[in-house]
Structure 1
C-alpha cells in the first residue's frame, strides 16, 4: 500500500483521537487528555499519532503506528519511537500497532533483543488488526471517525461503503469540513478494497476533486497489472498464494508493467521475474522520514 493510504489513515487517527481510543480499548477506553507532538526528538521521523491519555489510576502515552505492508525494519523503528516519546514526555508509553491489511502481518509482540542467548531488552506492544474488527458493534457505530475504516472489515462487502457514506452524511455533529475529510478517507479506502468502480456517483465526484484522485488511478492501474500477473501464474500452473497480489502491488506500477509486457513476448523470462518479485521484500523505505 502506497503513501496515499498512509497519509489518509494518519489524517484520520489524528483528527479523531477519542474515537481511536474506542477502537483500541472498547468500553474501557482511557480518557483522551491531549495530542502530543508527533515529531520525535533528535530525529527527522514522525510518529503516526502520539496521544496522552489517562485512567482513574494513571496517565500514559499511546504511540500509534499504522502498518499497511510488511517492513523488516519496523520493530527497531517502533523501539526507537517508544524510547524517544518516553524521554520527551516523561510518562510510560504503550506502543500500538494498527495493521491495515493481512499482508502487513508479521509484526508480533514482543520484540526481544538477546545477547549471548539472554534477553536483555523486551518491548511489548498492542496489535489491532483492522480486518478483524467488528465495526457494527454499538461502541464503534457511534464513533463517526471510525466509519471509513469499516470497509476494511474482512466480513464486509461493497455495501458497507454505502452504509458508511450514509452514516457520515447523516452525522449532524460533523462540520462540513469534517464530513468532507471522512468522505475522502472513505472513498480512498473503498477504492483500495473494492475498486474505483464501486464508488457511488456522489463519492466519485468528491474524490475527483481531491488531491488523492491521481494516486488512486495509478493504484488502480497497478492492481490491474498485479491481477493480470496472478492470472498469468495460474495459466502456467504456478501455485501462488492469494496474498501475493498485495505483495505485487507494493512493487509499484512500473515494475509490474514490465513483467506484464514480458509475459506476452518472453513468458519464461516473465515467470522468472515474477518469482523474483514475489520472493523479494517490499521496497526499503527505512531512510524516508515518516
Structure 2
C-alpha cells in the first residue's frame, strides 16, 4: 500500500518541479525545460516525477523517486524506470532517490550483478537524504515549496514548524491554493516527526480538513499501541528475570502490531510460554 507520506511528497514535487531542482542540484541547478509524462511505456507503473532539464548545453531527463519506507526491490525498480524513460525520451537519464527517513534507505548504490565471473551490470543513482539537507543554503531558502521538508532535517527542533509555517503564510508568490497545499504537506510531515500536539492551532485546523488527517491519526494510534505493548513486555521480562540487552526496546519494536499483541496475551494467559518466547527474542544474536 502506498504510504500517505509517499503521496504528499509526490504531490509536492510534481507541483513545484523547478524548485525541486534546487534540492537535487543546489547552486548548479540546470534549466528546467518541461515535465515529462510519468507513466512508463509497456508498464502499469508510474514514476514519481520525470523532469527534462538542460545544463551546459546538454539536455537530459531526471527521474525522481520518493521513498518513505523500506523497499528491498527499490534499486531494481529504479533501474527498470530509468531504462523505460531513456527509451521513450531518447535522452540520458539521471535517476535520483529521495529518502524521507533513515529507515527508508536500502542498499546504497551502485546496484548490479555478476554472472560467470564477469561484471554484467553496474547501475548508479544519486541519493538525497532529507534529514541531511541543510536548508540554510541560499538556493533552498528561496524555494518556498521546499519549506515543509525542512522539518525533516535531523538537527531541526519543533520550532522549525512555526518558522516554516510563517514563511509559507508570508510568501507573496503563492496562490491561496498553493499555500494551503504546502501547509497540508508541512502539517503531515511535522506530525510524523514531532507529533500532532506540536502543530499550531491554525495548522491543526487545516489538517483536520485534509484527506490525510484520518490516516495520520490512525498511524499515531498504531504507534502508541506498539509503544504500550513494548513497555508491557519489558516490564514482564524484568519481572521474570529475563536479561535485557541495550537494544531490547528496538528489538521488540521491530515486531508487527499483531505479533506484539499475541505475545502480551500469552504473558497474561500462559506466562511460561511467553517468557520462553520473549527470552529467545531478546537473547538471539544480532545479524
- State the shift of 1:14 in Å: 0.8
Structure 2 counterpart of 1:288: none
Deviations 1:169-224 (A, max 9, x none): 00010000000000000000011001111111000000111111110110101111
Give 1:118's aligned residue.
118
Structure 1 residues 263, 225: closer, same or farther in 2, change over 3 A?
farther
Q: What's the CA shift string for 1:4-50, capped at 9, x where partnerless?
A: 11100110111111111111110001111111111111111111111
Q: Contact 2:184–2:206 at 8 Å: present in 1 too?
A: yes
Q: Give the TM-score taking structure 2 as reference length.
A: 0.87
Cross-structure match for 2:240: none
Question: CA RMSD of the aligned region, Å?
Answer: 2.7
Partner SS, residue 32 of structure 2: strand
Contact 1:68 1:101 (8 Å CA) reproduced: yes
The separation in 1 between residues aligned to 2:253 and 2:61, in whole angstroms, is: 33
TM-score by length of 1: 0.86
Alignment pair present for 1:269 and 2:269: no
Query: Cα distance 1:200–1:39, how it changes in 2: closer, same or farther (>3 A)?
Result: same
Per-residue Cα deviation, 1:84-112 (whole angstroms, up to 9, x for no partner): 11111110001000011011122311111
The secondary structure found in structure 2 opposite 1:179 is helix
Residue pair 2:233, 2:264 contacting (<8 A) in 1 also: no
Using the TM superposition, give the Cα deviation of residue 152 of structure 1 relative to its aligned residue in structure 2, in angstroms.
Answer: 0.5
Q: Does 1:73 align with 2:78?
A: no
Contiguous gaps of at least 5 residues in structure 1 = 280-290
Structure 1 residues 263, 211: CA separation in 2 closer, same or farther (over 3 Å shift)? farther
Which residue number in structure 1 is paired with residue 247 of structure 2? 240
For structure 2, list consecutive stretches of 5 or more residues without a partner in the other structure: 238-243
Aligned pair 1:91/2:96, yes or no?
no
1 or 2 for the larger relative contact order (CA 8 Å, sep ≥6)?
A: 1
Asked if the contact 1:103/1:243 (under 8 Å) is kept, the reply is no
Aligned partners of 2:98 and 2:127 also within 8 Å: yes
Structure label with greater radius of gyration: 2
Please say if residues 233 and 240 of structure 1, whose CA atoms lie closer than 8 Å, have aligned partners that are also in contact. Answer: no
How far is 1:137 from its partner? 2.2
